[in-house]
Copies of this chain bind each other. A is one copy, B any other.
Amino acid sequence: MEVGFLGLGIMGKAMSLNLLRHGFKVTVWNRTLSKCDELLEHGASVGSTPAEVVKKCKYTIGMLSDPSAALAVVFDKDGVLEQIGEGKCYIDMSTVDADTSSKISEEITKKGGYFLEAPVSGSKKPAEDGQLVILAAGEKTLYDEIIPAFDVMGKKSFFLGEIGNGAKMKLVVNMIMGSMLNAFSEGLVLADKSGLSQQTLLDVLDLGAMANPMFKMKGPTMLMSSYPPAFPLKHQQKDMRLALALGDENAVSMPVAAAANEAFKKARSLGLGDNDFSAVYEAIKVPEPSP
C-alpha cells in the first residue's frame, strides 16, 4: 500500500517510520525538508510540496502541529487542495477543533475527494511503539480502506461517525484527564500536610482500584517539581475550556471540571503555562511561609 505523509514532527516521524517498517511505500513531506533525511534513509520517497505528494499517492496522511498548520497544508499554495479530487483521499491525524476539521472536510468533499479526521490519543512513546489510539470520523469507506495503516500506527482505532466527533471525543478524554490530575494533586498535598508520606500514597494508589499509568508516570516527577512538557499546561487548560464550552452548548453542568479548569488557570497565572500539565500541582500546593 502506498501512502503520503505530511508533517514529520515528533509524532509524524515516529508514525511514518512505523509505516515504512511494515512495508508501506511512503512519500513524505515536511515544511523544513531536511527533516525528511532520516526517512529517506529508511526507504521513503520525498515530495517537494503537499500537492506533489497528493498527486502521487491515493492516500495522504497529515500530522501537523496545530489547527493553523493543518489548515495551511491544505489551503496554501501547493497545498493538498490543488491535487485533491475524484479518487483521492486525505486523512488528517492532527489534533484540531471540530470547526477546523469541518472546514477542511467541506472543501475536500467539494472537489470530489474523501476525508477522514483521525486525531490520536497517546504521545511520543506510543507513537514510536505503534500503540496509539485512533479516533476517526468522517468517510466510513475511507476508514475501512485505511485500516491497514491504522493497524501499524495504533493498537486500536475507532470510527466515531460524522466529522467533528473525533475532536469531541478527544476533548472529553482530556477533560477527564485534567480533573483526575487535579484530584491526584490535591491528594498529594493533603497527604503531605497531614504528615503522611507522599511516596507511600503513590504506592498505595498504584496497588488499588484507581491505579493508572498517568499517576504512575507523573507522580514521581511531580514530587520532584519536575515538569518537562510532555503535554503543555496551557494546551491542557485550552482543552478544559473547550470541553466546558461543549458542555455549555449542550447544557451539561460539570462543576468538577470547572473547578479543575480554574486551578489550571491559576497555574497559568503563576507562569507555568509552558510546563507539563502536571505543574498544576504547584498551584495547589500550600506555599511555604516566607522566612
Contact = CB atoms under 8 A, between A and B. Distances in A.
A156 interface: yes
A237 B251 CA distance: 10
Q: Can you tell how many copies of this chain the complex includes?
A: 4
Interface of A: 121-122, 133, 135, 155-156, 158, 160-161, 165, 168-169, 172-173, 175-177, 179-180, 182-184, 186-187, 189-191, 193-197, 200-201, 203-205, 207-214, 217, 237, 241, 243, 245-248, 250-263, 265-266, 268-271, 273, 284, 286-287, 289
Nearest to A182: B256
A284 B176 contact: no
B204 A209 contact: no
Contact of A256 (B248, B251, B259): B259
Contact of A168 (B158, B172, B194, B217): B194
Given A209-B217, A248-B265, A173 B196 contact: no
A97 B128 CA distance: 46
A253 B263 contact: yes
Contacts of A187: 172-173, 175-176
A265 B251 CA distance: 5
B253 A169 contact: no
B200 A169 contact: yes
A190 B286 contact: no
Contacts of A284: 253-254
A193 B250 contact: yes
B172 A191 contact: yes
A290 B287 CA distance: 15
Nearest to A290: B271
Nearest to A207: B133
Given A133-B207, A156-B207, A169-B196, A179 B190 contact: no
A274 to B, nearest CB: 13
B196 A165 contact: yes
A37 to B, nearest CB: 32
A173 B204 CA distance: 8
Given A160-B197, A186-B254, A194-B246, 8 more contacts: A122-B208, A156-B207, A158-B200, A173-B204, A173-B205, A173-B210, A176-B210, A193-B247
27 contacts: A121-B204, A133-B204, A133-B207, A156-B203, A161-B195, A168-B194, A168-B196, A169-B191, A169-B196, A169-B200, A172-B187, A176-B210, A180-B183, A180-B210, A183-B183, A190-B247, A208-B213, A209-B213, A211-B213, A212-B212, A253-B286, A255-B258, A255-B263, A256-B260, A258-B261, A259-B259, A269-B286
